[in-house]
Amino acid sequence: MLSTVASYPSPLTKEDEEKARKIKMASIIEKYKDRVSTLPKHTSWIKHPLYKYEGFWFHQGFWFHSEASFSVEVVMALQEEFVAQPTNVFLATYPKSGTTWLKALAFAIANRTMCKGSNPTHPLLTTNPHYCVPFIETEPFLTNPCYNNDLLATHLPYTLLPKSVISSNCRIVYVCRNPKDVFISFWHFVNKLLSDDMSPEMKLEDAFELFSKGVSPNGSCWDHVIGYRKASIERPDKVLFLSYEEMKKDPKSEVKKLATFLGYPFEEGDGEIEEIIKLCSFKKLREVSKANKDGHKAIPNDAFFRKGEVGDSVNYLTPEMIEVLDKITLEKFNGLDISF
Ligand code: PAP
């Protein structure tokens, strides 16, 4: 049984949360600063450099609209301090692969009685799914030491997960997406943040150079997918591997799979599955995000809902860029039964 509703909304006020987060983050940055200074460094998508840690690239903790999560110091701290509970279910993704959608679906499934009769008070009708399922890199770890929410999310690569996630046999759901679409989605996202910050936009060619070399926050998109894909082959009962493309093509079948894995199999014919798909659709979630001005401090709500389509990258990439990315995908995913 998942206990997502028990800790929703957070017991802390927003002010308390922000204060706790800042104090915890400052102490983490201080604790690991010497270790970080020894890591290989690279210029990044934004003005702050990336550091290579255990094969993947991360930003150093810096303050962005009073946020400093998803940093290499937080990864180190999570590895040392985070204790997963056997009941935890991790929703894992490389950024821009369908995180928001997966969070919405898993939350709606785990709290499905709320969905009945298109309940107008359902949290997903007023709240960005990111607030319904917290990232371990941010909220629960930084502000709530109990993190008593069974559904948790992460962008961490499989090999960097805190050891207790594996030793406690936690279930993991991973969603992968065609790296070309991930790249274009991420490029748009970064440029949105840069323009909101009055900084110059990042050129597509410069972003492509970094992404194709695997120099992006959370490391190489391909290596990220490979880690979870291999884990899903080795431990299929514990790691469910889904793809954004399949979820778009056949949402009913993929959502059924997800619900069964989470321990909430659907009964045929009661319309519940259709209600959940509709509630978590791009159109619905975007509509809610537009109406809800009480967004994230650092990232506006609507930044998570751009087009929500498969294959939009062809509208931006040159044929040469497509060839390079397709070649990497083919080589890296060889033998792993991943196709888009
Ligand atoms: P995150 O890692 O920053 O949380 P994530 O949610 O993984 O981002 O990815 C955002 C992408 O998912 C966007 O894709 P696009 O840029 O190609 O449009 C966003 O539009 C898309 N997205 C968000 N919600 C949904 C949804 N309900 N259905 C389909 N796609 C969605």
Q: How far is the CA of 34 from the centre of ligand 1 (A)?
A: 36
Q: Ligand 1 atom closest to Cα of 284?
A: 27
- 219/54 Cα distance (integer angstroms): 10
- 129/97 Cα distance (integer angstroms): 15
Q: How far is the CA of 23 from the centre of ligand 1 (A)?
A: 31
Segment 312-319 shows an average pLDDT of: 98
Q: Which residues contact 7 (CB under 8 A, 6 or more apart)?
A: 144, 146, 148, 149
Q: How far is the CA of 99 from the centre of ligand 1 (A)?
A: 7
Active-site positions? Answer: 155
Segment 206-212 shows an average pLDDT of: 96
> Above 70 in pLDDT, residue 140?
no
- 92/227 Cα distance (integer angstroms): 11
The whole-number pLDDT of residue 8 equals 45
Q: How far is the CA of 147 from the centre of ligand 1 (A)?
A: 25
To which H or E segment does residue 297 belong? Answer: none
Q: Ligand 1 atom closest to Cα of 305?
A: 20
**52, β-bridge pairs:** 57
Q: Are 218 and 331 in contact (CB under 8 A)?
A: no
Pick from 332, 78, 134: which is nearest to 225 by CA? 332
The whole-number pLDDT of residue 44 equals 83
| Mutation test residue for ligand 1: of 188, 281, 304, the one with most atoms within 8 Å of CB | 304
Question: By three-state DSSP, how is residue 152 classified?
Answer: strand
> Above 50 in pLDDT, residue 1?
no
Question: By three-state DSSP, how is residue 323 classified?
Answer: helix
| Mutation test residue for ligand 1: of 45, 97, 100, the one with most atoms within 8 Å of CB | 100
> Above 70 in pLDDT, residue 66?
no
Q: How far is the CA of 100 from the centre of ligand 1 (A)?
A: 6
In order of their start, the domains of the chain are: 86-332 (3.40.50.300)
pTM: 0.93
324 pLDDT tier (thresholds 50, 70, 90): very high
Q: Are 148 and 4 in contact (CB under 8 A)?
A: no
Pocket of ligand 1 (CB under 6 A): 93, 95-101, 181, 185, 188, 280-282, 285, 304-308, 312
Q: At what angle do helices 99-110 and 272-279 cross, to 10 degrees?
A: 140
Show the tokens assigned to 129: 């799914």
The whole-number pLDDT of residue 67 equals 57
Q: Are 149 and 8 in contact (CB under 8 A)?
A: yes
> Above 60 in pLDDT, residue 7?
no
- Which residue has the CA at smallest separation from atom 26 of ligand 1? 282
Pick from 98, 69, 79: which is nearest to 251 by CA? 98
The whole-number pLDDT of residue 43 equals 86
